[in-house]
Amino acid sequence: MYYYRELLPSTAVDFATVSDFIARDSQNFILVKSNLLEVCEIVIDDLNKERLVIFETYEFYSKILCIISLKPSEGSDILLLCFPSFKVSVVRFNIETRKLDILQIFDFEHQYILPHAIPTSLSENALFRTNMSQNTAALIENNQIILFYMRESGDSELSFVARHLEMAKTGQKMGRLIDLEFLHTYGNDTVGLLYEPLTTDMNLLSVRADTCSFSAYVIDEQMVNLIHVWSKHNLPFDSFKIIPVCENIGGVAIFGDHQVVYISQVSHPYSLGSSYTPPVSYIPHNQVAPKDMSFHDSVVAVVSNNQILVSAESGELYVLDFIHSNRKLERIHMCPLNYNHLTSCICTYKDLVFLGSRTQNSLLVCLNSNVTQNEWSFDVIDEFFNVGSPVSACLGKSSCKKYLDVCLLCESNKSSKIHVLKKNIPFTEINSLNIPTAQKVVLVSINEDFKRFSYLVISLQASSMILQNGEELTEIENSNFIDTESTLDAISLSTYEILQVTPTKMRLFNTVKILDELCFGYRALNVSRAKRNIYITDETSNLHSYKIENNQIIFVSTRANILTFTTLNILEDEYYLKPMLSIVTDGGIFEAVVSGVDETMGFGNFFHLPNTFIAKPGGSEQIFNSENLLGIREIYFANLGQTSIKPFLFVRCSNFIVAYKTEIKNGILTFRRVNKFINLSNDETLGTLFSYITMFKKSPAVFICSRIPRLVISTNDETLSVFTIDIGVPFRDLTIFDVGMIDHAYVCLDDECNVKFLQLTHCGSFHRGWVHKVYPIDFVPGLIDFHPKYNVYFISGHNGLGPTFTDSYIYSFNSSDSYKKIKTLENQEISYLKLLNLNYMDSRAVFLVVSTIFNKDDAIIGKLNIFDVVCESGFSLVHLTALEFDGGIMTFDCLDGKIAVSSMEKIYVVEYDKETRIFVNVCYLNSSYAALSLKSLKNFIAFGDLVTGINLLHYQKAFNQMSLLGRKRVNKYPICTDFIVNDTKIDVISSFADCSLITLGYNPEISKTKNGTELLMTSGSRLPSRVVNMLKILDKKKVFEHYITLMILVQNSGGVGVIVPIPEKLFRRHILMKSRLNNDLPDECALNFSRERGDFCDFYHKDTNTKQILDEILFNKFLSMELMTCYDVIKRYGITFSQMIEDIFLFDRLIAGNFYVAQ
């Protein structure tokens, strides 16, 4: 029913309102006011009068920039909210309850969507666009386009997927992105981009051209790439808006300050080449209007299928009537109508248009469609003079009655006015009230018969009043709000309770009856509340707290030296109630968040001063300072038990953390310390960078992040256990598992043969949580791997080394049970163990493959065993078959559903036949040297041999043969080898006995040697010790998680197993600092900047000897570089990974102090 448009007029009105349709059938819509979101509905009273009722109000931490509503095929409407901190929330609107349920949250500042870093805050120009079917939306900001589309599964589960459109792959040199719209008459979603192109001259930077360009792109099925269809260049440089023309005509209209460009679509673009240029019609202003006419700062809206309305700043209204035949535009009829400055806002409903004015003469007009094609006229229904500059306007019409509402919110320099217009067409204003400096309107009471609504109007310089809205908007004479002083704030505590706060007193009302009045004795400055608790600051920086009980205002306490404070209450879901009270004191900023607390507990606010913390449950205040907790930095409530009525309180001070158990006895909240101090070392007290407390949702554990991570769990709701996650022990093995959407776990074995197990599982909505236990074992551990289907670990072990082969064992281990011996291999030693998927058609066909060596007739024999995992009556292994190799087996890996085996000087490819349960020898390749480390990637094999170095093989499945692609002779002893994947490029990385690490690139264009193509060395590093096991160095896929995994490896001789996820921004900052310290600007950083006109000299200066670029431009450029380019830059300086890890936090601090970072 209703449509709101965000407005930023030039009349110094610092207020904007945006809204969008949602649940149209039930006449609901969403209204946004800064950081408030209101759910409204149009109801009809007994007198058949339409009323607007606000059913629910949500308050957010930050301002809402833009919103868009989408319509699934079935179910409730979906709303997307965009915030300045580059976060997008997806909420579902429930028609029955009229409430919003949070479905998803996209955090583009820290998460996985963007391929390169961008500024962490959005400007006011961020906007949403949606396609015609309302199932896909696009967010445009800072030349970035992020696509949101629905993904519906068979079980009616609805989720959104966000994809970043690769603008760099479009082939167009784009500067500033001006506008985007979804186009008509295409099969797939097609977007039209209006942008400023870049031109590059020899030896100069790219600069913005003096024209604009338009390009049409089809979004591919993967919602990632833009496929170019056609373009039109040399458009007017002042173009600012795209309007898609209706589907039966096609094409787009592009608006500039001095002309309109219509780009026709005479035939289907898919049948034409990429060089196709569609016909263009230029409609300059001098054809229909005087030469001084301009479209600058105009507002544009679509009023019908083939008509577009333009309200120009110069005072003319234009209707672009697209007259066409055979898909060819014949004429655009433009009809001016002289009215002044109707550019404040525009709102359309069917054939009615409301036009807001900046000169206090707004119009409501009706477009007359009963005329010939050669004419066009406006019927002025009503003029509204002296109503101020409309900040926003809305039109709505009931489906059952011919009533139309016009609701105006207007401001001017001298007064503010509220206009309520409701009559049969044509309209007349029934009433308006002049209220000097009105600043707030609140719905405070609803009569029992729901026929009339009351509004409390708060004014700064005059008495406040209550207005009754019925046939007329009138003031309630006995409202008792008439006072000689201004009202600081008025709060609606319930349906009928109103609290008025003035600088000297506070009064409690029941609609119009005064229930209680309290004089302060001081002059109040600021007012805030949390539920029924009121907080007031005075001129001497004191904080006074009150509570409302039994229709009385009760004084609670006074705190001194409080500078400012804010309160905020948010109920996120049924698991989390987060009342938060932030206080700024002389000691700094402190913040307390209560989580995992049931709303029915009556918990109030918790806050702390420098040396004490205060709890306010239900309004009663308790102060705790007996522990002498000096330097409190953070307090945190966490539910670690099975119920939500006994949360734990963690207090983090300067160098320790103490925990308390909370209970409510006889309505009084008590705290009891449950364990000793958790001492923190000196290097862990450097602030939130190295030390903070967090809690995972629905997880019975608290994770203390610092230099030495700790995990705190509770087993019986009464005691806490603290586990140190020690990564400094010599690991025997380390494994990373990806068993689901966000599943990660690792298992390590220390020198005391203890299994240290830490796992986080999060599959869809299921979240098992953190588990941390220590299991002593009585055998010598070997290798370990994880079965994702049965959630079980398999560990190999033996009783000890001796002169002869001993028995080997296979153990099963899971988080809920102790380890269990499930297989014994007599007189055999396990050389390698791994779980492999040997059927690419079935992702669950996972077998346990074990290679062993034994002595047979004084010869070393290797055996490849395959076991099926059976989970009935406990885990057990069923031996399927085995294959023997002369000389033993060094290692193996899965190769495209088969198994690549290294034995002596050969690489074998064998296949397991599931029907006959035997191994089939497919092919082999004589490698001349024994392969020590072998890794496969699809149909590629990389291995390090015993003497020469690194080899790269290619397996051709169609011909059942292997060929040597490349070899690098390094004359070093290789220990382990792995792949680095960068799009279509494959690099090989290896570690060697001399503690070095190198990466090798394959280039098929180089002439082949007799043994294959030479692998090119791309980088080299020196590590502090040997790498004995390696998983990955740099994985391109990790970029989608907004993290760069620099190193996952295990070293001996000092033996540190390291998992280093570095935030991408820190990685780029480190590269920038290294480049500046080396006085080197990499050639890969082709600095292409887009600037506004006139700012070129301020940003760039160049002569024959110097080239000066401001630090913020250089920094932002490195934020936008390709990730692999950054990686190549850092490799140029020969920086070791260990050095990067040691320096990255230091460089981050230096750069944060010396460079400007847009927030």
pLDDT of 580 reads 39
Q: Cα separation of 367 and 1018, whole Å?
A: 69
Q: How many residues does the chain have?
A: 1159
Asked if the model's pLDDT at residue 799 lies above 80, the reply is no
Nearest to 753 by CA among 790, 713, 798: 798
Note the pLDDT tens digit of each residue in 1028-1039: 444 333 333 333
Cis bond upstream, residue 426 (ω within 30): yes
13 against 918, higher pLDDT: 918
Bridge partners of 142?
A: none
Most confident of 85-94, 576-585, 614-623: 85-94
Q: Are the CB atoms for 34 and 426 separated by under 8 Å?
A: no
Q: What average pLDDT does the segment 982-993 reach? A: 66
Contacts 24+ apart (CB under 8 A), 47-54: 47/451, 48/401, 48/403, 49/403, 49/422, 50/396, 50/398, 50/401, 50/403, 50/405, 50/422, 51/453, 51/469, 52/405, 52/407, 53/453, 54/443
Helix 1111-1120 with 1064-1077: angle, nearest 10 deg: 130
Asked if the model's pLDDT at residue 397 lies above 60, the reply is no
Q: What average pLDDT does the segment 966-993 reach? A: 71
Q: Cα separation of 197 and 204, whole Å?
A: 16
778 against 484, higher pLDDT: 778
pLDDT band for 98, please (50, 70, 90 cuts): low
DSSP code of residue 206 = B
- How distant is the alpha carbon of residue 528 from its chain centre? 31
pLDDT of 657 reads 75
Asked if the model's pLDDT at residue 989 lies above 80, the reply is no
% of the chain surpassing 70 pLDDT: 37
Write the single-letter amino acid at 870: V
Note the pLDDT tens digit of each residue in 256-275: 877 778 777 644 433 333 33
DSSP code of residue 914 = T
Most confident of 296-300, 429-433, 847-851: 847-851
Q: What average pLDDT does the segment 245-252 reach? A: 72
pLDDT band for 866, please (50, 70, 90 cuts): very high
**Geometric angle at alpha carbon 946, from 943 and 948, rounded to 5°:** 80
pLDDT of 5 reads 29
Contacts 24+ apart (CB under 8 A), 27-33: 27/1, 27/399, 28/93, 28/95, 28/98, 29/1, 29/2, 29/4, 30/67, 30/69, 30/79, 30/93, 31/4, 32/4, 32/64, 32/67
Q: What is the mean pLDDT of the chain?
A: 61
pLDDT band for 546, please (50, 70, 90 cuts): confident
Asked if the model's pLDDT at residue 233 lies above 90, the reply is no
Q: Count of CB atoms within 10 A of residue 1004's CB?
A: 8
Q: Are the CB atoms for 785 and 835 separated by under 8 Å?
A: yes
1111 φ, ψ (degrees, to nearest 5): -65, -35
pLDDT of 816 reads 60
pLDDT of 213 reads 87
pLDDT band for 457, please (50, 70, 90 cuts): low
Note the pLDDT tens digit of each residue in 145-161: 888 877 766 555 677 78
Does the domain at residues 166-340 carry the CATH identifier 2.130.10.10? yes
* DSSP codes, 760-784: E-EETTEE---EEEEEE-SSEEEEE
Asked if the model's pLDDT at residue 865 lies above 90, the reply is yes
pLDDT of 636 reads 62
DSSP code of residue 1112 = H
Note the pLDDT tens digit of each residue in 276-325: 445 565 555 444 444 556 777 777 777 776 677 777 776 677 777 666 65
**Does the CA dihedral 79-85-87-89 come out positive or negative?**
negative
Decide the pairing of beta strands 489-492 and 754-760: unpaired
pLDDT of 80 reads 80
pLDDT of 675 reads 63
Lowest model confidence (mean pLDDT) among 525-534, 1002-1011, 1034-1043, 1127-1136: 1034-1043
pLDDT of 863 reads 92
Question: Can you give the three-state secondary structure of 621-687, one letter per residue?
Answer: CEEECCCCCCCCCEEEEECCCCCCCCCEEEEECCCEEEEEEEEEECCEEEEEECCCCEECCHHHCCC
Most confident of 54-68, 402-416, 744-758: 54-68
Helix 1123-1132 with 1064-1077: angle, nearest 10 deg: 40
Q: Cα separation of 551 and 500, whole Å?
A: 14
Nearest to 931 by CA among 941, 919, 918, 944: 944
pLDDT of 1082 reads 42
pLDDT band for 499, please (50, 70, 90 cuts): confident
Note the pLDDT tens digit of each residue in 1049-1076: 333 333 333 333 444 555 555 555 555 4
Asked if the model's pLDDT at residue 786 lies above 50, the reply is yes
Q: Cα separation of 889 and 901, whole Å?
A: 7
Instruction: Report how far apart, in Å, the C-alpha atoms of 634 and of each of 416, 530, 620, 741 are.
Output: 44, 20, 22, 32
Q: Cα separation of 501 and 499, whole Å?
A: 7
CA atoms within 13 A on the CB side of 659: 23
173 against 323, higher pLDDT: 173
572 φ, ψ (degrees, to nearest 5): -75, -50
Nearest to 546 by CA among 585, 589, 499, 590: 499
Tokens of 705: 């992040």
Q: What average pLDDT does the segment 413-440 reach? A: 43
Nearest to 1086 by CA among 1130, 1123, 1125: 1125
Lowest model confidence (mean pLDDT) among 357-361, 440-444, 701-705: 440-444
pLDDT of 574 reads 28
